[in-house]
Amino acid sequence: MNTSYDLPSQSSSGVAIQQNRVLRNTYMLLAASMIPTILGAAIGIQMQFSFMAGSPLIGFLLFMGISIAFMYGIERNKNSGLGVALLLGFTFFMGLMLSRILQFALGFSNGASMIALAAGGSGAIFFTMSSIAAVSKRDFSSMGKFLFAGVILVLLASIANLFFQIPVLSLVISAAIVGIFSAYILYDINRIVRGGETNYISATLAVYLDIYNVFVSLLQLIMALTGERD
């Protein structure tokens, strides 16, 4: 009788240990991924890196193509060390891409403080959402379809605004991205906690993109609302 009752407990304990391991490895790799991101951004600022600035649409499409190629390679090799190397290479590329908005922000007299505020705000959002995801007994997996639909709508609006260049629409898009990807942090961390994601490389990629998008859009909002010229 005792054996029959102990087996489910042992099985549940094993699953919990695995989930904790995936979450711990995700946080460790996520922290490591910030190093090439910062390095790429610093090099980009130093070199005044500009990715197809003269043709925003072509630049956007090329950026998406390179990003998708990286993400495909990461997913294909997520069970090997090559997956980690590709992820770190991708984060370096994303740091380079980040340098352009950072250069623009530093053109303001309060540029450094706005970047710090965006970084602090992104960190606070990540801490809040990941804490809720980790301690809540609720399953947030049902959010996935709505969040994906929101991303598609924002993507289409962003492409349209490349042509129309409407400042108010840019603000609305940035606010929507902050909201959507903040919710994605909750969704992605909750998937790890509940065993829906068992590969820490895939998990890190997802959460990294969430934080990256929150930071960029939050910085755009802060610049629009508080930017000061000399």
Does residue 210 contact residue 83 with C-beta atoms inside 8 Å? Answer: no
Both structure tokens of 182 = 């903040």
pLDDT interval class at 230 (50, 70, 90): low
Per-residue pLDDT of 78-120, as tens digits, reads: 999 999 999 999 999 999 999 999 999 999 999 999 999 999 9
Residue 35 has pLDDT above 50, yes or no: yes
Give residues with Cβ within 8 angstroms of 166, minimum separation 6. none
Average pLDDT for 13-34: 86
User: Is the pLDDT confidence value at 56 over 80?
Assistant: no
Question: Each residue of 170-229: pLDDT tens digit?
Answer: 999 999 999 999 999 999 999 998 888 889 999 999 999 999 999 999 999 999 998 877
Asked whether residue 1 carries a pLDDT value surpassing 60, the answer given is no
d(CA 43, CA 209): 20
DSSP three-state, residue 97: helix
Looking at the predicted structure, is the pLDDT value of residue 153 above 60?
yes
In a 13 Å sphere around the CA of 66, the CA atoms on its Cβ side amount to: 14
Residue reference for tokens 């090559």: 82
75 burial level (CB within 10 Å; 0-12, 13-18, 19+) = middle
Is residue 43 within 8 A of residue 104, CB to CB? The reply is: no
Neighbours of 119 (CB within 10 A): 13
State the pLDDT confidence band at 51, using cuts at 50, 70 and 90. Answer: low
DSSP secondary structure letters along 10-57: HHHHHHHHHHHHHHHHHHHHHHHHHHHHHHHHHHHHHHT--SSTT-HH
Which pair of structure tokens corresponds to residue 80? Answer: 């090997």
Which amino acid, one-letter code, is at 206? Answer: A
**What's the pLDDT at 214?**
97
